[in-house]
Structure 1
Amino acid sequence: MNEYFYEAYDKNGRKVSNIISAQSLEEAKSLLKNQEFVVVKIEPIKKNFSFKLFEGKITEQELYNFFKELSIMTKSGVKIEKALTVIERSLDNVKLKKIVNEIVKDIKSGVTLPSAFEKHSIFDSLIVAVIKTGDSTGTLSESFSNIAEYLKFKIQFKQEIKSALVYPIFLIFASFLTIFAMFKFIIPKFFSIFSANYEELPLISKILLNISNFFTLNPYFIGTFIMLIVGVNILIRTGKLKVLLDYSVNVPLLRNVVINLELSRFSYSMYSMLSSGIDFLKSLELSTNVVQNKKIKRSLESVIPDIRSGKTITESFRKIEYFPSFMLSLINVGEESGNLKDIFYELYTIFEERFKTFVKRTLTILEPAVITLTGIIVGFIVISLILTVMSMSNVKL
């Protein structure tokens, strides 16, 4: 099968652009004609760099918009097939448009809705499970709404972290740039005046000059720095850096923040799953996959067989060392009252608040610490320059 990109007008006179699969260009034109499209442009898509670049990436925001629109339309009584077709026409992302188009085709050919979604990797097992539950219980609009809320939670969570880190990162970068500029350009020009009298310079001035020479005489410094950044980026993309981050839960200063972050994700996922009507054991299996830290994830996975064998939820959870005592108490209350859904939402709010509080406190300390450190370094430079001038001018303190 070949892929063809086309631009055409539908029977309502609306211009649409999409991708169609066909054996040949003639077959593609024939298929579009049968769908009552007036083709303006059609061309084969090269399955190489241009195709990858053209498709782009599907963001969580686009998925959120997609499921939010599905929720609104199905709640209004629009059939799922019609809702998907309407949404497809309004999509800007070509890759997502193609996927939705394939889902519609699968549904028309008799494939179940969950199976049609499951074929595409952009919909993870959690999303597929919620759709399966909604499809079997006839509550698809609620399921789509729960998925949208879960995606919204993930988007907001990431945005809050990024927003909190913007100023500190800018501050650190600006401080580094200032210090680098002084060592690279200002100090060499200043000490060039006294280069002939190096042995007579004060010790602090010699130290400063040697540091400056490292920046000035080492042409590979910037290259090494860039390679270091690229190397860290590669480690992040390949997932190898996560191996180190998994042990962060054992570091005293990081333990609480990692636990609060992971349990916040876990609790909200459990709340979303239970709200969608998924049974507890399945919810636990799906929510465990949301956890990023492997040590915490393995602890959660270890209790699944216990619950499956008939042990109570509270009894099984007691073996998880990362669960604080108040969490076990609340889960016990929820288990006895049959209201675990609301309990997990309360746990989510608690852990989220704890995580945000830690981040705020850390940033409150970090900002003045960076400014103070920069001030000390700049002060050291200024004192060194003053001592150099006094020493070379035979001025006694």
Structure 2
Amino acid sequence: MSNATPRYAWTGHASSGATAGVIEAASPTAAADLLRGRGITPLTIRPQGNGLVAGTPLGWLTRLRAGPQRPAESDKRSGLFAPKVRPVDLMLFARQLHTLLRSGVPILRALAGLQESAVNPAVKDVLLEVRKSLESGIALSMALARHDRVFDPIFVALVRVGEMTGRLDEVFLRLFHHLEFENTLRQQVKSAMRYPTFVVAAMVVALGVINLMVIPAFASVFAAAGASLPLPTRILMATSQFTIDWGWAMGLASVAGWFGLRAWRRTPQGRLRIDAALLHMPVAGKIVRKAMLARFARSFALALRSGVPIEQALSVVAQTVDNQHIARRLDGMRGAVERGDSILRAAAAAAVFTPVVLQMVAVGEETGAVDELMDEVAGFYASEVEYELKTLSQQIEPILIVMLGVLVLMLALGVFLPVWDLGSTAMKH
């Protein structure tokens, strides 16, 4: 029996680009660790003279070849109702890829395993395309950038940094926590909007029933009596008649207006105007602003901690903040930093940050811990948003009660005043 150290042929990516070679190691896992220590992200690791990859820490991957079977092109899903890659799918992808890379599994085999175990067909298709790009010699970050509807700019930028530093496993763990934060924020907003949306929808339905069914019944009675009707009743009857005559046109106009607003929002000018207006809406505006600040702070801290330069971090974060008005201000902030301004002066000039954020930026610049303090800002505003969303129904309830009170008052005056007058007339006679 020979005691010679096994030799492995490998391919990978370094900061200088694609590379390959042969390495001596006790196992494929040890070989992957040695390569990452050299700043190389391993793509494939094969024992010399054997096409199979053995000795991996995950048993279900040992059956895979270095070049796994590709699904047929006809398996790809397309069309309007094709499945989409959900935020939960991205979180699972980042977490699992972190575990596989940390265990020493080469990136190609890790992607093959994730593709095989994925439940969502859209995830399978994306991973297949990413694997094809990697096999053709393209870096992982560039392969992910080709799917910009799935992987946002900050995801791609951090993966690029991970490739350059050889710490892809750490980057994917940070991305998992970032995606978890974003998903939690999104779910909190949806949960908080359920109650007011239901109440407003119920009021709209009630108005439709009153105008189309209730008031016309009373109108026929009042017309037969021939009595003089008070002003509230005449207003209700005119509103009801207008709804009956032109309700279809109002419905069409509402649908056309909705689609027109969506189309306008897709234009740069429309998106800018609407996003700026969202920040000044009563009740909801402060929640939107705090949510944007939490997202900015968390993304900025993540980019800085991962080694992204400040100018590039601001550029990437501007693309990920879901508000064009704030994104424009962040682009201006990046330009100011490039011209030599401090982060604090650039942030103050942007005029979108609260005094809390500016104070944290000032302390961070003095201590060299901007990323840590931005994390604290993100946690602070995430807590603020959570509290605001939990109390949103309490803040909206007075407005809804006033609207409902006005509706009931108009209905009561319009219906019962003439009934009262008719009863009084009948008693006199």
TM-score band (shorter)? 0.7 to 0.9
Q: 1:223 aligns with which of 252, 259, 263?
A: 252
Instruction: Report deviation, 1:172.
Output: 0.7
Is the partner of 1:136 in helix, strand or coil? helix
Change (3 A) 1:197 1:232: farther
Please give the alpha-carbon distance, in whole angstroms, between the structure 2 residues aligned to 1:203 and 1:189. Answer: 18
CA gap of 1:312–1:241, structure 2 versus 1, over 3 A, is closer
- How much has 1:239 moved relative to structure 2? 6.4
CA distance in 2, matches of 1:396, 1:141: 88
Q: Which moved more, 1:123-132 or 1:361-370?
A: 361-370
Residue correspondence of structure 1 range 78-157 to structure 2 within 5 A: 78-121=105-148, 122-157=150-185
1:193-221 deviation per Cα after TM superposition (whole angstroms, max 9, x unaligned): 22234552223222221122122233523
* AA matched with 1:143: V
Question: Structure 1 residue 261 and structure 2 residue 291: aligned?
Answer: yes
Cα separation, partners in 2 of 1:361 and 1:56, compared to 1, 3 Å: closer
Q: 1:378: Cα distance to partner?
A: 2.0
Q: Where do residues 343-382 of structure 1 align in structure 2 (5 Å cutoff)?
A: 343-382=373-412
The change in CA–CA distance for 1:91 and 1:57 in structure 2 (over 3 A counts) is: same
Would you say the 8 A contact 2:279–2:289 is kept in 1? no
1:205 partner amino acid: T
Q: Which amino acid aligns with 1:106?
A: S
Work out the CA distance in 2 between the residues paired with 1:331 and 1:43. 50
Whole-angstrom distance in 1 between the partners of 2:341 and 2:247 = 65
Q: Hey, which bits of structure 1, 4+ residues long, moved more than 6 A?
A: 34-37
1:273: how far off?
1.0
Partner AA of 1:366 in structure 2: I
1:70-124, Cα deviation, whole Å (9 max, x unpaired)? 1122222222111100000122333331221122233233332223223322323
TM-score, normalised via structure 1 length: 0.79
More displaced, 70-79 or 299-308?
299-308
Provide the rounded CA distance (Å) in 2 between the counterparts of 1:341 and 1:43.
Answer: 44
Q: Which amino acid aligns with 2:272?
A: V
Q: What residue identity is the alignment partner of 2:242? A: F
Work out the CA distance in 1 between the residues paired with 2:281 and 2:201.
Answer: 27
8 Å Cα contact 2:291-2:385 kept in structure 1: yes
**Correspondence list, 1:291-370, <5 A:** 291-370=321-400
Change (3 A) 1:250 1:278: closer
Q: Counterpart of 2:100?
A: 73
RMSD: 3.1
Aligned to 2:271: 242
Contact 2:98 2:173 in 1 (8 A): yes
- For the 8 Å contact 1:390–1:396, the answer to whether it is kept is no
CA apart distance, 1:262: 2.2
Matched pairs, number: 359
Report deviation, 1:296: 2.9
The residue type equivalent to 1:267 in the other structure is A
Identify the residue that residue 91 of structure 2 maps to in structure 1: 64
Aligned amino acid, residue 294 of structure 2:
S
How many Å apart are 1:266 and its aligned residue?
Answer: 0.9
2:200 corresponding residue in structure 1? 172
> Higher helix proportion, which one?
1
Match for residue 9 of structure 2?
Answer: none
Query: What is aligned with 1:12?
Result: none
Contact 1:184 1:212 in 2 (8 A): yes
Give the match for residue 387 of structure 1: 417
Instruction: Report percent identity of matched pairs.
Output: 26
Q: 2:220 aligns with which of 184, 192, 196?
A: 192
Unmatched 5+ residue regions in structure 1?
A: 1-33
Q: What letter is aligned with 1:272? A: L
Q: TM-score, normalised by structure 2?
A: 0.74
Distance in structure 2 (CA, Å) of the matches to 1:54 and 1:182: 38
Q: Is the contact made by 2:153 and 2:320 (CA closer than 8 Å) also made in structure 1?
A: no
- Go from structure 1 to structure 2 and tell me whether the alpha carbon gap of 1:43 and 1:84 turns closer, same or farther (over 3 Å shift): closer
Task: Name the CA shift for 1:114/1:351 in 2 (closer, same or farther; >3 Å).
Answer: same
Q: 1:343: Cα distance to partner?
A: 0.3
Instruction: Specify the code of the residue in structure 1 equivalent to 2:123.
Output: L
CA contact (8 A) 1:201 1:392 kept: no
1:13 corresponds in structure 2 to none
Mapped contact 2:98–2:169 kept (Cα < 8 A) = yes
